[in-house]
Amino acid sequence: MPESHPSRRSVLGAVAATAAAPLLAATPSARAAGRRDDLLFVSPWKGTQIHGARFDAAAGTLTPLGPVGDAPSNWTALHPAKRLLYVGGSEDGGIVHTYAIDRTTGALTRTGTPVRTDEGGTAGGGISHLAVDAPSRTLLVANFEAGLAASLPLSNGVPGPPASVVRDTGSGPNPRQNGPHVHHVTVDPSGRHALVADFGADRVFVRRFDRSTGVITPGTGAYASAPGSGPRRVLFHPRGRTAYVLNELSGDVETLDWRDGTLTRRQRLALDSDAFTGTRSGAELALSRDARFVYASSRGENVLVVFAADERTGSLRLVQRVSSGGLKPWAFTLHRSGRWLLAANQASGTVTVFAVDRGTGTLTPAGDPVAFPAPACLTFLDR
C-alpha cells in the first residue's frame, strides 16, 4: 500500500510557486476556450468570498478564476437541476443564502431571502453541511453551533422558512463535545428516516422524515459511537442495508448494518497508519458512483484513504493511503466522470487534483497543487 506524506516546507513551497500565478483567468480568449469546462466553486471556512475555477475533465487541469461572489461561507451545495448555489453562512443564527450562477463567468448573484435556521441566534453561526433531498424538494441543514437539524422547503429552487427544526441533546468526553453539535444530515434509501450525525453527542440520531412534506420529527432511535468519537459524516451504500459513519475525533470509519431504522456496528477501520501518533481528525467521506470504493480524508496524517467495498456485504477493505498534497484535507469532491478527485487542503491553501483508477480505486496526483485561500468546501457545477 503506497503511503507518502508531505513535509511542511515542500507543501508551502508548492503553494508559493502556485500563488505567484494570476488568480484570474489570463485572457478573455482563455476564458472563452474554457467555457466547455466544468465550473468549480471553492469556499473557505468562515470566509468572506467564494472563488471560482474551471476544471478541464479531459486533461485534469484546474484554472482559478478568482473571487466570483461575496459570501460569509461555511459550506455550499448545488441545486440538482437549477443553477443555484446554497451557502451556509458563518453569521449568527445559522443563515442560508441562495445565489444564482452565471454559467459563463461563474459569477454569483444573491437571490431570494436569507433563511434563519436558529431563531435563538446562536453565537458563531456554524452551518456545517447542506444537502438537497431531491424527491421532497428539501434543503437539509446541519447547524453545528446550535446542535440542530433543519429542513427548508424549496420553491422554484429557493429555500423558504424551515418546515422543521429538531434539536439534539447530549455531550461527550472531549472538551469540544460540551453539547450537541450536528455535523451532517442525510436521508436513508427508503426516504422514511433522516439520519443526523452529531459530533458533540457521540450519536447518529435516527429521525422520522416525511418526503411528502419535507418534515423531520424526533425519532426514538440512535446509534452510539464510542465515547469521544465525534461522528461527522454518514452515508449509505446503494443496496440500502449498509451505512458508513466517519468519526472526526477518533479518526476512523465504521461500517454499520441498517435494518428497520436501526444501526448496528459491523466494522471499524482507522484512517491513519499505525505509526501515526499525532491528533486524529477525520474530515470527509464519499462513495464512488459505482459503489465499489469509499473515500475518506484525515487531517491528522494529511492523507486520503481508499477502501474497497464488498459488492455483496458492503464491508470495507483498505486499498491505499496517499498524501493529500497539502495540509488538513478538509473536504474533497469526486468528479461525475469518476476519473478525478479534487482535495481541498485548508491549512496549506491548495486544491490537489488526483486521477482515479476506476479499476482499483487508487489515486495518483495529477500536477502541482493549485492555490486558493483556505479552501474548505468544493462544489461542482458540472452541467
The three state secondary structure string of 192-243 is CEEEEEECCCCEEEEEEEECCCCEEEEEEEEEECCCCCCEEEEEECCCCCEE
Q: Whose CA is closest to 236, among 213, 207, 259?
A: 259
CA-CA distance, 152 to 362, in Å (whole number)?
37
pLDDT(9) > 80: no
CA-CA distance, 99 to 39, in Å (whole number)?
15
Per-residue model confidence (pLDDT) at position 90 = 83
Chain mean pLDDT for the chain = 90
Question: For the purposes of burial, counting CB atoms within 10 Å of the CB of 26, is it exposed (0-12), middle (13-18) or buried (19 or more)?
Answer: exposed
Which three cell numbers, joined as nine digits, stand for 221?
Answer: 432511535
Per-residue model confidence (pLDDT) at position 28 = 36
pLDDT(2) > 60: no
pLDDT(10) > 60: no
CA-CA distance, 298 to 269, in Å (whole number)?
12
Q: Are 111 and 98 in contact (CB under 8 A)?
A: yes
Q: Which residue has the higher pLDDT, 25 or 174?
A: 174
| Residue-range domain boundaries for the chain | 8-20+74-375
Average pLDDT over residues 194-206: 98
φ/ψ bin of 186: left (φ > 0), alpha (ψ from -120 to 50), beta (otherwise): beta
Window from 56-65, 120-129, 168-177, 319-328 with minimum mean pLDDT: 120-129
Per-residue model confidence (pLDDT) at position 195 = 98
Binned at pLDDT 50, 70 and 90, residue 123 comes out as low
CA-CA distance, 318 to 121, in Å (whole number)?
43
Per-residue model confidence (pLDDT) at position 348 = 97
Per-residue model confidence (pLDDT) at position 41 = 98
pLDDT(20) > 80: no
Binned at pLDDT 50, 70 and 90, residue 32 comes out as very low
CA-CA distance, 318 to 243, in Å (whole number)?
17
CA-CA distance, 301 to 279, in Å (whole number)?
8
Binned at pLDDT 50, 70 and 90, residue 383 comes out as low
SS3 at position 126: coil
pLDDT(8) > 70: no
pLDDT in tens, 148-160: 999 999 999 999 9
Binned at pLDDT 50, 70 and 90, residue 125 comes out as low
What residues contact residue 382 under an 8 Å CB cut-off, 6+ apart? Answer: 38, 39, 335, 336
pLDDT(16) > 50: no
Average pLDDT over residues 4-28: 40
Which three cell numbers, joined as nine digits, stand for 45?
Answer: 471556512
Per-residue model confidence (pLDDT) at position 198 = 98
Average pLDDT over residues 347-371: 97
pLDDT(25) > 50: no
Question: For the purposes of burial, counting CB atoms within 10 Å of the CB of 95, is it exposed (0-12), middle (13-18) or buried (19 or more)?
Answer: buried
**Residue 134 gets which letter from DSSP?**
G
Binned at pLDDT 50, 70 and 90, residue 45 comes out as confident
Percent of the chain exceeding pLDDT 70 equals: 89
pLDDT in tens, 261-306: 999 999 999 999 999 999 999 999 999 999 999 999 999 999 999 9
pLDDT in tens, 51-102: 999 999 999 999 999 999 999 888 999 999 999 999 998 888 899 999 999 9
Task: Give the CATH number of domain 8-20+74-375.
Answer: 2.130.10.10
Per-residue model confidence (pLDDT) at position 22 = 32
